[in-house]
Structure 1
Amino acid sequence: MNIVIIGYSVAAATASKRLIKEGHNVTIISKESDAPYYRARILELLENKSLKDIAIAPDSSIVINKAAVKIDRENHQVVLDDNSVVSYDKLILAVGSNANTLKVNSDKVIAIRSVSDVRRLQEMLKSAKSVAVLGGGLLGLEAAVKIHDASGLRVSVIDRSSWVLSRQFLQPEGELLSQMLAQLGIDVLTNAGDVSVKDGLEITFADGRKLHSDILVTSIGVKPEISLAKDCGLNVNRGIVVDDTLKTNDDDIYAIGDCAEFEGKTPCMVSAALDMARCVLAENKRYKNAPASAVLKIASLEAVSMGSVNDNCVRHVVETPTSREVFYLDGDVLAAYYAVGTSKNMVNAKLALTKPLSEKQKSDFSIS
């Protein structure tokens, strides 16, 4: 069977290797001229690593470095930007997501989504004295720490919420994380609300506070890429709508990774993308949304968030001078696990999540 994949993400690469092993012919269409790489690792290039260090190992797929501009569903063809066509029996969309951007026209503002973005940032850092990162989510915090470590510049994180990682943590752990970031040399400015930015990079918060910076890195979320799917009549919402086989409303077209939406959710996480890649065009596998989870590991900073807290949960805190773990139990069931400054129980907590804890597990986790 001839399978065409649009996009060369970790989801695409994982699916491609499996499908080739199963005897299919795979063609990958990618508009990026750089060799395929793990997008989640692009900030490692700031650490003097090369593209080779984050490259995706090649397989025997055919790679076409052109942009797909149209899907002709009737004729089972993908039209490329040079008007050539690629025919398919099955088509997998792995087109990823796009960064949300500020409505400001300035060459001092940058969102980091590709290798070329990192290269541009490296040039900008050479003449800068300070950097601001807008967005206190996982990617924003990673960017802040790695920029600070690579450049030695003053770096400030600006977050509209009352604490960083507000989608992953409750306030006590978010505030502890801010303290740990401060110890690494990162300023954390919360309660910023909606900010306005002038070209000279005077950043004004909703309450009137101002911050001057030479560079503004934006990390304010992503939106799934749906234009190709929408233009050819596939069902789209926030993402490209799929069922538990990752199939769209066209029996021969599938979507995986950041662009896919299943049961109203677009996880936009590597773990979900890998799960989708294992399930797509697999006869006996069905995809299901996993419990919410997030892991931050940068320099000496570690943070883990798993599951979700409900009104019935009881909070159990295990604390050391350098770390805090929080176990939220609904009865004996582990509903959520938060950790800041450690990840030692991450694997065991993930295995135990949403299940009743035995007395031995409680003892192992130091829950009293």
Structure 2
Amino acid sequence: MKKIILTGGGTAGHVTPNIALIPELKRRGYKIYYIGSKEGIERKLINEIPDVEYFGISSGKLRRYFDVKNFTDTGRVLKGYSEAKKIIKEINPAVIFSKGGFVTVPVCLAAKKYKVPCVLHESDISPGLANKICIPSATAICANFPETIQHLPESKAHLTGSPIRKELFEGDKSKGLEFCGFTDDKPVLLVIGGSLGSVSVNNAIRNSLDKLLEKYQIIHLCGKEKLDTELEGTKGYRQFEYIQKELCDLLKAADIVVSRAGANAICELLALHKPNVLIPLPLKSSRGDQILNAESFEKQGFSKVVREEELTSASLLAAIEEVFTNKDQYIKTMEDSNQLDAVTKIADIIDSVY
């Protein structure tokens, strides 16, 4: 049986595309293993999938700027490299697929050491630091955006789009409404701040809650340890730290979405044709990838963007109202976008490299 190691972690966005690939890889006869961090969100998500063995390794964040943590994190990366070499040697995979995140760096470097073909996926317009380090070790590199190709070695680059989990297309609106205790006579606003949550997005929504509840029922995915207990029981408002199993139903129930602009999240909104307002991470908190992602989607007519520096109750309410008023046009533009079948295309590339 062919063996493949998947790797990626740190946030749900580095895990869910791997999860989307798993059914197709199983169908093609692969035995699947997963390397992630020891305590990251990927461990929980992958351990819920049958017949996928999980290995945790040490990992550390690599920074472009000086920080005393660079010294300790470098040690963790080196330890992770040693652990990844041992795992790869034991499994002897035909190929490795890496979705990104700092846990993937020791895995990709160990793959190069043992001459195992490695396929990377870059979600954002410009490659992140982890993928930049891994690119020389890669046999092929998959990308979401046409703009990304110019940043990659031409001989390795493939425009594939982002793998979307099949179950996201199988949501049931009535189940989503029932799960939240909502009715079907009032539109639903879904707020997604990412698996780690966003204080600024959460605050903007909660500061506008009274006004929003006049028109919408609100599902608020606010992130780990970011629930507001004072809002529990508010009619028409449900908050959750993170949702996995019921997410497809909640997306189906949503008429409009407010979201960060992580590449995988917005590609899912595009595939599901969900009108949306994007609030990208600002430069002070990121390398600017979400700003580029959001600008690309706004230019293509898929999204309305509110920069965090301009985020107020008034600007948020105006953006939501503009998108909801013109939701049919947003939906048509997304329907006409001709999304690629990324799962099949990436699986074909994986098949081709060994």
What is the TM-score of this pair, normalised by structure 1? 0.30
Q: TM-score, normalised by structure 2?
A: 0.31
Which structure: greater helix fraction?
A: 2
- Pick the structure with more strand per residue: 1
Larger CA Rg, structure 1 vs 2: 1
